[in-house]
Structure 1
Amino acid sequence: MSIRFRSRVPEGWTVDSAVRPFRFPGGEWHFAWPERETPVSAVLTGAEPDDLVLLALWADVARERGVRSVAYIPYLPAARADRGTPFGARVYANLINAAGLDEVVVFDPHSPVAPGLVDDVRIVHSASAVRDAVFGRHGLPGDYVGIIAPDAGARDRATRVAELVGLPVFTAEKHRDQATGALLSYAPPTLPAHGRLLVVDDVCDGGATFVALAESTGVARERLTLWVSHGIFSGRADRLTEHYGEIITTDSHPGARRPEIGARVIRLHPYLIHDDTSPGDPRNERGNER
């Protein structure tokens, strides 16, 4: 399971719930909700279908207790399946909507399509998290000289980061086989000859796109940093370490901590809850979660 629940206890603190889901012999999920806990939120990472069942059970408890049900689903399942048949984004959105949640918070979705299918959704963009992780809270560029968008689809998110830190954006172009969709080559932009460059995108699965991008630029490994909001890091993604001096992602997906990648993993939750605690601060502040 990749879901956890947050509760408020009589002492006034917001804590991880003590609830322990279990399965009946017939296969159905269930749990006994602790009487002293008031549901506050559910946090779901990854895309395990069992977690969506547990999410719906938790939302039912929240309704019975008369409190709001807020689900943080930073990695929106099937966000990349935003066209075609079966229409995966719609199928997963329907599963989430069936829980009857009061609010669903997602982080840097692949496109507007999938979140547009989810009821009562709030989208959190990645720019502030990227700024803080790479440049610090004050957004000082340091020895960075530019932001690279791997393709036209990543230009908007790369531009949001660039505007925060005052750097130019360089956009690469992909060339694909129209029949198979396979990546044939990259047309890299003209890049500065010196200084570090930050590649910004939403998802890294097997990493082939980012390997091809790095190879096409000819930029030395120590000059390239890779930010991906959702690090799945499947298959041969470990090849990324040959091309990027640092890889940074968030804890939105269980794959983020694959040992062979050695990514720096950013705690995302503070960016999702809009509290006044500094992002990354591990303190459990009273009342800092809605």
Structure 2
Amino acid sequence: MQVWPETDGALRIGRCEAVTDTGRIGRIMQPSGNVELTTRIGPGFGTTPTFEAMVFPAGEAHIKVVNENWGKGPLTEVCRLYGADGNDLFTVAMWADACRRRADARRSEAPDSKPNRMVLLLPYLPGARADHAEFVPFGAGVYADFVNSLGVDQVICFDPHSPVMPGLLNEATVIDSTRLFRRHIVGRADQDSRPQRYSGIIAPDKGATERARKVADACHLPMYQALKHRNPETGRLSEFTCEPLPDTGRFLVVDDICDGGGTFMGLAQATGLPKERLGLYVSHGVFSGNAEQLVDHYAEVWTTDSLQPNPAATSQLLKPHVIPLATTLNGYIR
């Protein structure tokens, strides 16, 4: 749709450009870069992307068509989201709507053409930590409703906080961290030629036990349980404990999310080990607040690129090893 103003000097919006009456092209804001749009022929052969994200000067997300890919065969439109920013989620919604409308138009022109597919790569599930129905608001449910409203054919997520939000999603594919973890960080005792880099896996609390046990089993390593205790009157964390650890060896703490890092710092102190004997892996590194102080407790910190790390937390001291997820996520597109 084009809107032509009746007054001189106003902006004219048409086909993704802001044009003044003097013919000058107005400034089109660049999107955040956290939304990546690609196109495949079938499930696996890449081609030029159909769409490109943009932002109008007033702040509205928009999608424009940059390549006409009709005639190349059945297409799979893929959207990868880094993080969970609300503006980026609106860009994803615009992409989904553009995909649907173009597909509908194509079917009206060529009724026998095969339908296109839409795949959303959403490694970090927004709101997944608000996974109890008594939460107000019920964040996992709110975000799940939003994702379901997009009408995509597949949602691929990585190491979600709990099974709750994936269970609320339509067409969810869940990837656990075991294989990526073993390959990039620890290694596997019965196959790798070099010695394993860690002697054991530590679960920082009960919620992380199943995740840590899967990793430990895959790496043929023992798992050690740590616990965090809360003051029953205030609900605040009061202390951390960890079962006895061997006198030698290095140990890796495994969890899904690190926000401010307080739990992991408290756990490190509870182990009584020097930082040289401790490492930390989290699938989703928010690294907010005092997360920089993790370097005082861990020799190395590992995460993935599911989120764009907080520059304030990573620019000075904390420089985590970041494992790219692209190959892993793309491998699950069906």
Q: TM-score, normalised by structure 1?
A: 0.88
Q: Which moved more, 1:126-135 or 1:63-72?
A: 63-72
Alignment of 1:141-220 (within 5 A): 142-220=196-274
- By relative contact order (CA 8 Å, sep 6+), the higher-ranking structure is 1
Q: What is the aligned partner in structure 2 of residue 22 from structure 1? A: 54
In structure 1, distance between residues paired with 2:128 and 2:147: 13
Q: Does 1:36 align with 2:68?
A: yes
Q: Secondary structure at the match of 1:7?
A: strand
C-alpha deviation, 1:90, in angstroms = 0.6
Q: Which moved more, 1:36-45 or 1:147-156?
A: 36-45
Q: In structure 1, what residue type is equivalent to 2:82?
A: T
Q: What is the aligned partner in structure 2 of residue 3 from structure 1? A: 35
Q: In structure 2, what residue type is equivalent to 1:173?
A: L
**Structure 2 unpaired stretches of 5+:** 1-31, 70-74, 104-114
Q: What is the aligned partner in structure 2 of residue 120 from structure 1? A: 171
Q: Secondary structure at the match of 2:309?
A: helix
Number of equivalenced pairs: 276
C-alpha deviation, 1:181, in angstroms = 3.1
Q: Secondary structure at the match of 1:172?
A: strand
In structure 1, distance between residues paired with 2:310 and 2:50: 25
**Structure with greater Cα Rg:** 2
Please tell me whether the aligned partners of residues 4 and 16 of structure 1 are also in contact (alpha carbons under 8 angstroms). Answer: no
Q: Secondary structure at the match of 1:206?
A: coil
**Structure 1 unpaired stretches of 5+:** 276-288
Please tell me whether the aligned partners of residues 199 and 249 of structure 2 are also in contact (alpha carbons under 8 angstroms). Answer: yes
Alignment of 1:76-95 (within 5 A): 76-83=125-132, 84-95=135-146
Q: TM-score, normalised by structure 2?
A: 0.77
Q: Does 1:269 align with 2:326?
A: yes
In structure 1, distance between residues paired with 2:67 and 2:140: 36
Identity of aligned residues (%): 43
In structure 2, distance between residues paired with 1:76 and 1:262: 23
Please tell me whether the aligned partners of residues 39 and 62 of structure 1 are also in contact (alpha carbons under 8 angstroms). Answer: no
Q: In structure 1, what residue type is equivalent to 2:79?
A: A
Please tell me whether the aligned partners of residues 141 and 165 of structure 1 are also in contact (alpha carbons under 8 angstroms). Answer: no
- 1:77-123 CA-to-partner distances (Å, cap 9, x unmatched) read 01101121110111111111111111101111111111111111111
Please tell me whether the aligned partners of residues 59 and 69 of structure 1 are also in contact (alpha carbons under 8 angstroms). Answer: yes
Q: What is the aligned partner in structure 2 of residue 110 from structure 1? A: 161
C-alpha deviation, 1:27, in angstroms = 4.3
Distance 1:231 1:25, change over 3 A: closer
Please tell me whether the aligned partners of residues 4 and 17 of structure 1 are also in contact (alpha carbons under 8 angstroms). Answer: no
Please tell me whether the aligned partners of residues 256 and 265 of structure 1 are also in contact (alpha carbons under 8 angstroms). Answer: no
Distance 1:197 1:124, change over 3 A: same
C-alpha deviation, 1:142, in angstroms = 2.2
Q: What is the aligned partner in structure 2 of residue 46 from structure 1? A: 83
